[in-house]
Amino acid sequence: MGTQLRAELTERGIAPDCADTIVVVRDVLARVGDKWTMLIVAALSEGPRRFTTLHASVPGISQRMLGHTLRALVRDGLLTRAAYAEVPPRVEYELTDLGRSLARAVDQLVGWVTQNQDAIVGNRAGFDAEQSTVTRPR
Amino acid sequence: MGTQLRAELTERGIAPDCADTIVVVRDVLARVGDKWTMLIVAALSEGPRRFTTLHASVPGISQRMLGHTLRALVRDGLLTRAAYAEVPPRVEYELTDLGRSLARAVDQLVGWVTQNQDAIVGNRAGFDAEQSTVTRPR
DNA sequence: CGGTATCCTTGAAGATACTG
DNA sequence: CAGTATCTTCAAGGATACCG
């Protein structure tokens, strides 16, 4: 994963461990920037939750994507998955310390967005207005 | 953009302005988490750069993706685009104050990744090792 | 309950060629 | 030089069905 880019970076004379970091940074940013991760982590920030509960709390997510995303988060060690051998079965997901520390780091970025979203949305509107003036003049 | 999710969120009783923030946060995270943005911003952090210079400094990027990504960043007000009417033409891209402040915010996250990438990579390796044990036992 | 398997659609992005 | 246009490929993600 990202091996291709890593190779290209090192080939251009960038130190291998620095290339590693670039790749991992992009990896992590892509994960927290994907369609569902933030919403799942937000739902888990209050405490452990079950699969079905999460499915209900994250609006619009499919079972497939919930399963995939949870698995990826467990793989990275950001979540734990605890399966209890009962009937009916019960599985609980919970943020790990690593997951919580990432959530705090992301919170900084959320803070930035909260402070600057008006500016961004305004810039987009202005840009789009200009463009439509150019493409559809008069 | 993200209007669909916004509607779903508000329908579930989440306050509209809160839903807005969720959507914008995901937007911004998706932007900084995409394949090229980080590398372009890094290249611009030293000062203004021209299209061709950027094309050379970002390994593996196509003209198409460089153009698209730059345009998106300009649209959000994170970059300025200055075109000089010379021959040959010269265009310089530069981080705005907003862009620089985002870069600083992202740096926090980069710091987190730098500190924790060993843990993440280790977790992944451990997880994958377990999985292959399960799927290909003995 | 808590998933996985399968199929299918769509948008993202690469390759290549062309232009003001 | 600084892009855009076109074509194509590919994988993320949705819908649906099924299973331990």
A123-133: pLDDT as tens digits: 999 999 988 77
pLDDT at A1 over 70: no
pLDDT of residue B135: 55
Within-domain flag for A103: yes
Within-domain flag for B14: no
Within-domain flag for A112: yes
A93-127: pLDDT as tens digits: 999 999 999 999 999 889 999 999 999 999 999 99
Q: Please enumerate in sequence order all residues whose Cβ is within 8 A of that of B29, keeping only pairs 6 or more positions apart, or say none.
A: A29, A32, A33, A38, A106, A109
DSSP labels, A88-116? S-EEEEEE-HHHHHHHHHHHHHHHHHHHH
Residue with tokens 């499919």: A62
Within-domain flag for A7: no
Within-domain flag for B49: yes
Within-domain flag for A21: no
Q: How far is CA A62 from the centre of its chain?
A: 16
| Distance linking the first and last C-alpha atoms of chain B | 50
Give the sign of the dihedral formed by CA B54, CA B68, CA A119, CA A112: negative
Question: Closest nt to B62 (CA→C1')?
Answer: C14
In single-letter form, the type of residue at position B136 comes to R
pLDDT at A51 over 70: yes
Closest CA to B39 of A115, A6, A102, A90: A6
Of A21, A33, A117, the CB nearest to B29: A33
User: What CATH number should be reported for the domain holding residue A63?
Assistant: 1.10.10.10
If pLDDT is split at 50, 70 and 90, which confidence band does B137 have? very low
If pLDDT is split at 50, 70 and 90, which confidence band does B134 have? low
Kindly determine whether residue B119 and residue A38, on different chains, have CB atoms separated by under 8 Å: no
* Residue numbers in A 7-26, CB below 7 Å of strand C: none
pTM of the model: 0.92
Within-domain flag for B74: yes
Within-domain flag for A86: yes
Q: How many domains does the structure of chain A reveal?
A: 1
The residue segments making up the domain with residue A84 are 33-133
Phi, psi of A83 (to 5 degrees): -105, 125
Contact B33, A29 (CB under 8 A): yes
Percent of chain A scored above 90 by pLDDT?
Answer: 64
